[in-house]
Amino acid sequence: MFGLNRVRFIARDKLSKKRSVGISLLSLLLAFLTSGVMFLFTNVDPVQAYVNLFGAFSNYALLSEAIVRAIPIMFVALGLTIAYKANFISIGGEGQIYVGGIIMTGLVIWQLDSNLIPQAVFIPIAIIMVFFGTGLWGVIPAILKAKVGVNEVLTTLMMNYVAQIFSNFLVIGPWKDPEGHGFPLSKEFPAYARLGLIPGTTINVGILLGVFAALLCYVILSKTKFGFEVKVVGGSYQAARYAGISYTKVVCLGMLMSAGFAGLAGMNILSGVTGKLRPDFSPGYGYTAIIVAWLCNLNPIISIFGSIFFGGLLVGGEVLQASMNISVGVTNVFQALMLIFTLSGEFFKRYKIVWRSD
Amino acid sequence: MEEPLIEMVNIVKTFPGIVANDHTNFTLHRGEIHALLGENGAGKTTLMNILYGIYKMDSGVIKVKGKIVNINSPKDAIRFGIGMVHQNFKLIPAHTVVENVILGSEKNRVILDLKKAAREVQALSVSYGLPINPKTEVWKLSMGERQRVEILKLLYRRVEVMILDEPTSVLTPQEKKELFSSLKEMAEAGNGIIFITHKLDEVFEISNKVTVLRKGKTVASKLTKETSKSELANLMIGRPVLFELEKKDVSKGRAVLEVVELSTAEGSGEMTLKNISFEVREGEIVGVAGIAGNGQKELVEALTGLRHVDYGKVIVLGKDLTNHSPKTFFEHGVAYIPEERFGVGAVPGLSVAENLILKAYRYSPFSNKVFIKHKEVEAFSKSLVEQFEIATTSINSPVKFLSGGNIQKVVLARELSSIKGKGAKVIIAMYPTRGLDVGATEYVRRLFLKMREAGSGVLLISEELDELLSVCDRIFVMHEGRIVGEAEAGKADVERIGLMMAGIKVS
């Protein structure tokens, strides 16, 4: 049918750098073209739309906003990079953001009551608590996979709903600010629980933590014994067993870090932006980060820039909505198209197409 | 004479580093139950996957009833009347028998008439002696019954050629008898049956014709009644073509590996190793002969910490390591060259250097408590690449881009180099030359002889008798999880070993 049975995919023997980059660029170009068609269907001039969409990168205020958005995406993407390197396909970033937010808010509320932590070290202590607390949440699907063989895609995805809905429950119920006129918001975080701004900008210091985390991630993955074990487990589970590497240990520790970083994303949103717990406080950063991690080829350093790019797209999408009256959903479709085309591109990096003549 | 149902001529199929089918020929006539015999890796399943449209051959011709055809997918194959039952069944457990049978069939395109289909399935099951209730869900069925569903699937599609890949491996003796009588009925009705197996007994039980494959080549095609078990065994394994390898006299030292009354069982309770005892001494190469699937894999895994030992002991250099971890084994000087070099012995996506430190990365000088010392790794890898003559563009290129022989050299280089300052004292190698070209094969064999002279003990599991005879000091023969015989390599009688491998008692 349609001559499709004459198409054959043959594994490439070698892949040159040039071809690899070429395929990546072509994938992005195709994503733009396809999205352009989508714009046409919504009666929008694609060129104008792209100008608006990427407007975020031409304007200082918008770029600052893009970077603020990029911080949580960056933390989650770094975490996912570790998991994906071990071939553990976690979709749990979004839920981990909420868990991080819950732990942070809990800590703040407890501190407001008890005042036990010296205020000067509250943020550092919070970082540690959020990291390890969310990390333990991330270890649950790892144990389920390693010990009982439960598919991690399903567990991590389902745990997202648990975390998000529980977070919403807390803010509507027990953690609602009694003096908040009935709004579903927690108490305002005090100044010592907030992340300050980098002087002279509107960007919170979370970006410095994010860049530091990326460097840390890079060092862990490419310089340490643990990073080597992650690569072996990700490369071949059987070879890992043969080499005496414990799958359980590697995956649990990997997910501890993965979720830990994602938890910091949640903390960053609350301490750096909103200043309080709100319902549905993450607009899907955890899912956007999946795209970033793959697009950046699981490279922590490139992920810094990938996150800023996608932060810009989110801001651009809002500009688009305001200036051209297009739904924000359009930006999501555009993002998804980029992922689809890039992943398809990955396939063509490994295989070439051959048309057989009958 | 009538045109043959299937004719496969000069089929060539290569996988990276391995020639699976090397100008293979195969012919099937109506009414035949044709056994396709060969050891694991001989290319039987590959050949049939080509016929069924799963693999694409590199070159060759397939004729169905005299006409040259192009089979690009199982769908094409079904259209030409060819069907296959795989070793792993492809059924949907939650669906009923009849739903599985009609799934994807050309009939019932628009309107699904399950009742009619059920009647047809019932009729087929009665006429071929494949008793089954069409309305039962598949998950409730035994493996034998599931196999019947697979066969009914093909009968429902009116195939005339049925390929069965090792169909008896999942059956009880009773189910096997029932299957054989059904197959005979199908053949009598004018169909052709291809029966893939490596078990000689079954060839004589069921087939009227047999084609033997070895290393991807067709070595013989005979009427079953005109051949014998020992002839087939020899054809399958191959007459020894002795390599000229210099084997020095080496004095045997103390035992480096002692295996005492070793037994293992599967989760199902079936014994895979039965009371195995032997020892390997310094300066000795001990061979294990046997047709693949007779417990060799289980033995090797038990000797490297990868499989739980239920009874007996594994002693390395005088130390009882029974049921210790793989790590403990290699820390005590046990090198292991596994059967699958791609994906077990080496991680395809990792670089040559990374594969070379796959086990040693955790020890000095390659790392400290936390960090890998890349300089040390690089120097070490470069010296090994040179010493073992590994052909690679760089120590940083992924192992998957290397040829089969060079991947094996990476595995050997790693395994034979020392870990924690201890050299390899016991070398366990499973099919180390499988799929390698002549040069690489000879390299590997010479390497084992060199290790023997250096005082290591080698346990070599091989399916090639000539390899065992040219390299080993002693040879064991394994059959169905037992050691059934032993021979000194110098005085070994190939006929006798072949018979023992086939499970025939030799006095």
Question: A221 touching B, CB under 8 A?
Answer: no
The CB-side HSE value for A78 (13 A sphere, CA atoms) comes to: 31
Chain B residues in contact with A216 (beta carbon < 8 A): none
Lowest mean pLDDT among A233-247, A283-297, B15-29: B15-29
Question: A13 touching B, CB under 8 A?
Answer: yes
Amino acid at A322: A
Chain A residues in contact with B415 (beta carbon < 8 A): none
Per-residue pLDDT at B109: 64
Per-residue pLDDT at B106: 64
Per-residue pLDDT at B239: 56
User: What distance in Å separates the CA atoms of residue B444 and residue B441, rounded to the nearest whole number?
Assistant: 5
What digits encode the pLDDT tens for the residues A82-136? 999 999 999 999 999 999 999 999 999 999 999 899 999 999 999 999 999 999 9
Q: With beta carbons less than 8 A apart as the criterion, state whether B48 and B6 touch.
A: no
Strands (E), B399-489: 426-430, 457-461, 474-479, 482-488
User: What distance in Å separates the CA atoms of residue B283 and residue B452, rounded to the nearest whole number?
Assistant: 4
Amino acid at A218: Y
Contact B16 A11 (CB under 8 A): yes
- The rounded percent of chain A whose pLDDT value lies above 70 is 96
Lowest mean pLDDT among A6-15, A241-250, B478-487: A6-15
Chain A residues in contact with B345 (beta carbon < 8 A): 239, 242
- The rounded percent of chain A whose pLDDT value lies above 90 is 64
Q: Could you tell me the pTM of the whole model?
A: 0.75
Which residues from B are below 8 Å from A when comparing CB atoms?
16, 56, 70, 72-73, 76, 306, 325-327, 330, 336, 338, 340, 343-350, 354, 357-359, 361-362, 367, 370-372, 374, 401
For residues A232-253, one letter each, b for 16 or more C-beta atoms within 10 angstroms of the residue's C-beta and e for the rest, the string is bbbbbbbbbbbbbbbbeebbbb
Residue of chain A nearest B393, judged by CA positions: A14
Q: With beta carbons less than 8 A apart as the criterion, state whether B190 and B160 touch.
A: yes
Read off the tokens for A214.
């990326």
Read off the tokens for B148.
């019947």
> Is the model's pLDDT at A3 over the cut of 60?
no
Q: What are residue B63's DSSP bridge partners?
A: B7, B68
Q: With beta carbons less than 8 A apart as the criterion, state whether B451 and B444 touch.
A: no
Question: A223 touching B, CB under 8 A?
Answer: yes
Chain A residues in contact with B56 (beta carbon < 8 A): 8
Q: Chain A: nearest CA to B282, how far in angstroms?
A: 25
A261 pLDDT tier (thresholds 50, 70, 90):
very high
Per-residue pLDDT at A342: 80
| Cα distances (angstroms) measured from residue A357 to each of A4, A24, A105, A138, B32 | 12, 29, 65, 51, 34
Contact A236 B325 (CB under 8 A): no
- Number of neighbouring beta carbons within 10 Å of residue A84: 20
Residue of chain A nearest B71, judged by CA positions: A5
With residue A96 as reference, give the H or E element that holds it: helix A93-114
Chain A residues in contact with B341 (beta carbon < 8 A): none
Alpha helices in B388-429 (DSSP H): 404-416
- Number of neighbouring beta carbons within 10 Å of residue B59: 11
With residue B115 as reference, give the H or E element that holds it: helix B114-127
Chain A residues in contact with B350 (beta carbon < 8 A): 231-232, 235
- Number of neighbouring beta carbons within 10 Å of residue A313: 23
Per-residue pLDDT at A189: 95
Contact A242 B343 (CB under 8 A): no
Interfacial A residues in 231-270 facing B (CB < 8 Å): 231-232, 235-236, 238-239, 241-244
Question: A17 touching B, CB under 8 A?
Answer: no
Sign of the Cα torsion B358, B362, B363, B369 reads positive
Contact B371 A358 (CB under 8 A): no
If we measure between CA atoms, which residue out of B401, A243, B261 comes closest to residue A231? A243
Which residues contact residue B86 at a Cβ distance below 8 angstroms, ignoring those fewer than 6 apart? B150, B165
For residues A284-310, one letter each, b for 16 or more C-beta atoms within 10 angstroms of the residue's C-beta and e for the rest, the string is ebbbbbbbbbbbbebbbebbbebbbbb
Chain A residues in contact with B306 (beta carbon < 8 A): 241-242
User: What distance in Å separates the CA atoms of residue A198 and residue A200, rounded to the nearest whole number?
Assistant: 6
Per-residue pLDDT at A329: 77
Angle in degrees, CA B10, B15, B16, rounded to 5: 135
Q: With beta carbons less than 8 A apart as the criterion, state whether B411 and B435 touch.
A: no
- The tens-digit pLDDT sequence of chain B (507 residues) is 578 999 999 999 987 666 789 999 999 999 999 999 987 668 888 999 999 998 889 999 999 999 999 998 888 899 999 999 987 788 898 899 999 998 877 665 677 788 888 998 999 888 888 888 888 898 888 778 889 999 999 999 889 999 998 888 767 767 888 899 999 999 998 999 999 987 778 899 999 999 999 888 999 999 999 998 888 877 887 654 445 677 888 888 899 999 999 999 877 677 889 999 999 999 999 999 987 778 899 999 999 999 999 999 999 999 999 999 999 999 999 999 998 888 899 999 999 999 999 999 999 889 999 999 999 999 999 999 999 988 888 899 889 888 778 899 999 999 998 877 778 999 999 999 876 766 677 888 989 999 999 999 999 998 777 788 889 999 999 988 999 988 887 777 777 887 888 777 776
Contact A244 B372 (CB under 8 A): no
Q: With beta carbons less than 8 A apart as the criterion, state whether A192 and A119 touch.
A: yes
- The residue to which tokens 């490419």 are assigned: A222
Q: Is A201 helix (H, G, I), strand (E, B) or coil?
A: coil
Pairing of strands A351-355, A7-11: antiparallel
The CB-side HSE value for B219 (13 A sphere, CA atoms) comes to: 20
If we measure between CA atoms, which residue out of A238, A133, A124, A265 comes closest to residue A192? A124
Radius of gyration of chain B from its Cα atoms, rounded to whole angstroms:
25
Global ipTM: 0.85
Chain A residues in contact with B343 (beta carbon < 8 A): 236, 238-239
What digits encode the pLDDT tens for the residues A16-45? 778 878 888 888 889 889 988 988 887 888
Amino acid at A217: C
Q: Chain B: nearest CA to A225, how far in angstroms?
A: 6
List, as one string, the DSSP characters of A240-260. HHHTT--HHHHHHHHHHHHHH
If we measure between CA atoms, which residue out of A130, A110, A81 comes closest to residue A174? A110
Q: Chain B: nearest CA to A261, how far in angstroms?
A: 20
The minimal CB distance from B326 to the residues A5, A226, A242 is found for A242
The minimal CB distance from A244 to the residues B327, B344, B347 is found for B327
Residue B367: exposure state from Cβ atoms within 10 A (0-12, 13-18, ≥19): buried
Mutate which: B350, B356, B392, B406, vs A, most A CBs within 10 A: B350
Residue of chain B nearest A10, judged by CA positions: B56
Residue of chain B nearest A231, judged by CA positions: B350
Chain B residues in contact with A227 (beta carbon < 8 A): 372
Q: With beta carbons less than 8 A apart as the criterion, state whether A49 and A320 touch.
A: yes
- What are the structural domains of chain B? 6-237 (3.40.50.300), 242-333+423-507 (3.40.50.300), 347-418 (no CATH)
